[in-house]
Structure 1
Amino acid sequence: MTTPADRNRDSGTRELDVVVYGATGFVGRLVAGHLAQHAPDGTRIGLAGRSAERLEKIRDGLGPSAAGWPILHADSEEPDSLAALASGTRVVVTTVGPYARWGMPLVQACAQAGTDYVDLTGEVLFVRSSIDSWHDTAAETGARIVHSCGFDSIPSDLGVLMLHERVRSDGEGELADTTLVVTSLRGGISGGTIDSLRLQLDTVKRDKGLRKIAASPYSLSPDREAEPDLGAQSDVRIVEGSKIDPTLRGWKAPFVMGSFNTRVVRRSNAVLDWAYGRTFRYSEVMSVGSSPLSVVVAGAVAAGLGGLVAGLSFGPTRALLDRVLPSPGEGPSAKTRENGHFTIDVFAETTTGARYRSRVAAQGDPGYAATAVMLGESALTLVHDRDSLPDKTGVLTPATAMGDALLDRLQLAGFTMEVERLG
């Protein structure tokens, strides 16, 4: 049976397979470069943005494989241009943020056209607004609107999905206490991430209702009232490693993106009808060493994160921080990007008492080089692996939209994606 999604995205009715919107930006250029090098032969790719001249310069630097890529005009302040963009391709990749400021018109255009969409957002309120405004439309047209397809939040989302699938296969019940530990990480701070944080802090400062939504651990759930009451779930706690798993030593500090990633993973659980478990408790932390002083370092990290948020919330200190924090569009050198890396371990205890660990690791700066791979491979998954995708449409997460198909692609791209039983 042919579905609306099949009709809308049939390769014969769309001129292009993938369009990179924002290709003149720092991450957009990296994504375009990844596609130029790794997209399967015959993949029809275009570049979109406001300046044809700048886009042509980007295309000319991508090598022979990109020589014929078309250039398309698109501007978030020109809805007709976004509608034309969405109707002419099967997948739109956007790196134009902050998404709360610039992203929603493109979400609307893709949802209405039945066009798949992937982005890099780490903005809770933007994703919540996208769900409320366009999930039903996207579900009806067959579009997959997939937010957070970079370092936020693919390692978290797929790391937990792998655990769930292995536990289910082993017949060891459901996931219970589950904690992601950033075991090692080397990379720069994204200016776009800082700019998104500024915007969200300004928004919640003006609106107490939005502040409450942003603070809820289930802020992205499709049905917040149906979520289990598991007590306090803090995103800024420090925790002793042995409390996570007997194999861990030292204290763990809050992970800066945990407050967003945890909400994405909890949404995946709910979209999958709470398949991970009704007692699934999830948090994210980072390693700061295993010495007796790790508790001091972990506390200092927690205080520093709190200080950053407080500083950006207060005018005079924000002005000082803006002088030293990276600006949007800035990024590290090629050497720094190549030397970056990350290793993320997700530890879980199941309802039967079994213990497991999944690992997601990759070479390359997490927020730039590795993120460009994740975003590019997400787009290619939606184009080339349609028969392997979960049978879901609407506003989704990486795990619920692409699942094992994306996991397989990332492994082929050099990522470590593995699960082991610990006890």
Structure 2
Amino acid sequence: MTGPARDHDVVVLGATGFAGALVAEHLARHAPADARIALAGRSRERLERVRAGLPPRAADWPVLLADTGDAASLRALARSARVVVSTVGPYLRHGLGVVEACARAGTHYADLTGEVPFVRRAADAFDEVARATGARLVHACGYDAVPSDLAVLVLHRRVAADDAGTLGHVRLVASARGGVSGGTAATVRGLAELAGRDPSVRRLLADPYALSPARAAEPVTPQPSDTPVPGRTQDGGWVAPSPMASFDTRVVRRSNALQGWAYGRGLRYEEVAATGPGLRGALTAAAVAAGLPLALAALALPPTRALLDRALPAPGTGPDEHTRRTGWFHMDVHAVTTTGRRYRSVAAGPGDPGYSATAVMLGEAALALALDADRLPARAGSLTPATALGDVLVERLRAAGHTYEASPSAPAPAHQSTGRSANHTRVSP
């Protein structure tokens, strides 16, 4: 990074929130001893309380006051840091000012967003600014959408190394065990409410290339539905629509376009969720397929949204320690290339995917931005994990106990699984 020296390598903005505190804990346990880390938020008292609960390494970390509604405080924060990690969501409400401050200061930025409208607006407003200052603005550095984005990247790398053409049809089957936090619930609620009142947002969310950096140049290849009818895997297991598909698929397609459609202009990418085998798996798949659109519709309407709010977790809350520790995620990605060859990649890891595993992903993304600049892809602007961090983040996550691998595969016999089910799979790194 050019320009004046920075006081901090990484600043965690939102460290007093549920996700922010987990990211701070990961950094306290795993960042190099000489990494200069600070915690930021609106309340000094709460920041000091979070710091006191971290491992001893964090005892002398500075606490910085910043408010997402105060542009001057955000400018000062951005100028002090090499990297700002933002866990302050919903991002559409609280995030654009942070992105602007980092873009203008030439400060690298990473977040946990799963909001298509936010990424679209941030890219439209600040990509050109960030490219001029050299800032890498990296959205979606948690479970949304690191495993999807990197699993397709390592798949592409293997296919290219084998001179097997480019990616054609790619299907990700996701299994996971974990909990839901109040922050996630607030994000989903806010998106549903916005889409309910704004037709332009509904059109954006329906566009499979909503996050493309060059929408008019995208191929006419039809993309699979985000809400497919329940289906089967080759081993007889069932799959349903994935709640993450409407965001993660757009991130993968943005990564493809940012790399000059290196994955293939004919890429057809989809994500589904494994629900298990037998009658139970079928019933679960049917319930998810029917319930997901109904839940989103209910959140879009004020009367039903008020009722659902009583059942959803409150902001600032999240899964307990046992749930975070015993959770896991596993993604099987199956691809057919343009030469007809078949490949499989796997992304997997221990810990509640949205929280414990996400803290690892975002923490390692921040360290890569701060400490590995000479090994990162030579890009700046509004980026994705695959295009900003690429193989460096893959290496870091492997070292942290996550799995990212790709290999050729043959069509699976009827008795073999093409995707793991949360009902019968134990994930290990």
Structure 2 counterpart of 1:303, from 279, 284, 290: 290
Displacement of 1:251:
2.9
Letter in 1 for 2:246: S
Of 327-336 and 168-177, the range deviating more from structure 2:
327-336
* Whole-angstrom distance in 2 between the partners of 1:325 and 1:103: 23
* Whole-angstrom distance in 1 between the partners of 2:60 and 2:337: 52
Displacement of 1:191:
1.9
* Whole-angstrom distance in 2 between the partners of 1:336 and 1:25: 18
* Whole-angstrom distance in 1 between the partners of 2:295 and 2:170: 27
- Provide the secondary structure at the position in 1 that maps to 2:195: helix
Q: Which residue of 1 aligns with 2:417?
A: none
Structure 2 counterpart of 1:236, from 206, 215, 227: 227
Q: Does the aligned pair in 2 maintain the 1:48–1:73 contact within 8 Å?
A: yes
Displacement of 1:303:
0.6
Q: TM-score, normalised by structure 2?
A: 0.93
Structure 1: where are the runs of 5+ without partners?
1-5
Letter in 1 for 2:269: Y
Structure 2: where are the runs of 5+ without partners?
411-429
Displacement of 1:116:
0.4
Asked if residue 107 in structure 1 is aligned to residue 99 in structure 2, the reply is: yes
* Whole-angstrom distance in 2 between the partners of 1:297 and 1:383: 43
Q: Which residue of 2 aligns with 1:313?
A: 300
Residues 58/297 of structure 1: CA separation in 2 closer, same or farther (3 Å cut): closer
After superposition, residues 36-47 of structure 1 pair within 5 angstroms as 36-47=28-39
Q: Which residue of 2 aligns with 1:406?
A: 393
Of 395-404 and 294-303, the range deviating more from structure 2:
294-303
Q: Deviations over 1:42-70 (max 9, x none)?
A: 00000001111111111122132111111
Q: Does the aligned pair in 1 maintain the 2:138–2:385 contact within 8 Å?
A: yes
Q: Does the aligned pair in 1 maintain the 2:40–2:65 contact within 8 Å?
A: yes
Residues 83/294 of structure 1: CA separation in 2 closer, same or farther (3 Å cut): same
Q: Does the aligned pair in 1 maintain the 2:227–2:241 contact within 8 Å?
A: yes
Asked if residue 353 in structure 1 is aligned to residue 340 in structure 2, the reply is: yes
- Provide the secondary structure at the position in 1 that maps to 2:123: helix
Structure 1 counterpart of 2:130, from 134, 138, 143: 138
Letter in 1 for 2:209: Y
* Whole-angstrom distance in 1 between the partners of 2:237 and 2:380: 42
Displacement of 1:248:
4.2
Letter in 1 for 2:122: S
RMSD: 1.3
Q: Deviations over 1:335-376 (max 9, x none)?
A: 111011111111111011111111111110011100011000
Asked if residue 365 in structure 1 is aligned to residue 352 in structure 2, the reply is: yes
- Provide the secondary structure at the position in 1 that maps to 2:386: helix
Q: TM-score, normalised by structure 1?
A: 0.95
Q: Deviations over 1:111-149 (max 9, x none)?
A: 000000000000000000001000000011000000110
- Provide the secondary structure at the position in 2 that maps to 1:418: strand
* Whole-angstrom distance in 2 between the partners of 1:95 and 1:107: 12
After superposition, residues 165-184 of structure 1 pair within 5 angstroms as 165-182=157-174, 184=175
* Whole-angstrom distance in 2 between the partners of 1:231 and 1:194: 31
Letter in 1 for 2:173: V
Q: Which residue of 2 aligns with 1:207?
A: 198
* Whole-angstrom distance in 2 between the partners of 1:342 and 1:20: 25
Q: Which residue of 2 aligns with 1:49?
A: 41
Residues 249/259 of structure 1: CA separation in 2 closer, same or farther (3 Å cut): same
Q: Does the aligned pair in 2 maintain the 1:250–1:292 contact within 8 Å?
A: no
Displacement of 1:418:
1.2
Q: How many residues align?
A: 410
Q: Which residue of 2 aligns with 1:260?
A: 247
State percent identity of aligned pairs: 55
Q: Which residue of 2 aligns with 1:375?
A: 362
Q: Which residue of 2 aligns with 1:343?
A: 330
Q: Does the aligned pair in 2 maintain the 1:36–1:65 contact within 8 Å?
A: yes
Structure 1 counterpart of 2:113, from 121, 145, 149: 121
